């Protein structure tokens, strides 16, 4: 497919682009990959992204929400329901967007480096 250009890692991650053709159809849901690209027919199911983005986001979003809650407490000392109204949607939004970007970045990196599971015969193992 000579007329298609591979997007860079950052645009592919932030916009959910296919790593081969740049079509914006990497996701079929909030953070669920589509089975394949509708433009270039790249099979997204063959990539193994794993749970790396989710584990990283747990620590990042947790630290961000605790820091923000502490700052709000020291700055304004709002009622408890203000924390719920502000931090819950913010935490869900950051987590969802971060999970999408992290999964897309790992898939794009795996595609660019042609990474995959080792499928040797087993005879070369000690």
Cite the DSSP H helix spans in 2-123: 9-15, 52-75, 80-112
Q: Map out the domains of the chain as residue ranges.
A: 9-112
- Give 1's pLDDT tier (boundaries 50, 70, 90): very low
Query: What band does 115 get if pLDDT is binned at 50, 70 and 90?
Result: confident
User: pTM for the full model?
Assistant: 0.80
Over the chain, what is the mean pLDDT?
A: 88
Tally of CB atoms within 10 A around 27: 15
51 half-sphere exposure, CB direction, 13 A CA radius: 2
Note the pLDDT tens digit of each residue in 56-111: 898 999 999 999 999 999 999 999 999 999 999 999 999 999 999 999 999 999 99
């Amino acid at each position: 497919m000579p007329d298609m250009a591979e997007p860079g890692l950052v645009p592919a991650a932030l916009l959910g682009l296919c790593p081969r053709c740049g079509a914006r159809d990497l996701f079929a849901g909030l953070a669920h990959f589509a089975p394949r690209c509708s433009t270039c027919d790249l099979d997204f199911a063959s990539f193994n992204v794993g749970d790396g983005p989710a584990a990283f986001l747990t620590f990042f979003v947790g630290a961000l929400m605790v820091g923000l809650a502490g700052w709000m407490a020291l700055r304004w000392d709002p009622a408890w329901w203000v924390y719920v109204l502000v931090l819950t949607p913010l935490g869900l939004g950051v987590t969802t967007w971060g999970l999408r970007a992290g999964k897309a970045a790992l898939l794009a990196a795996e595609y660019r480096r042609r990474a995959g599971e080792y499928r040797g015969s087993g005879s070369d193992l000690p």
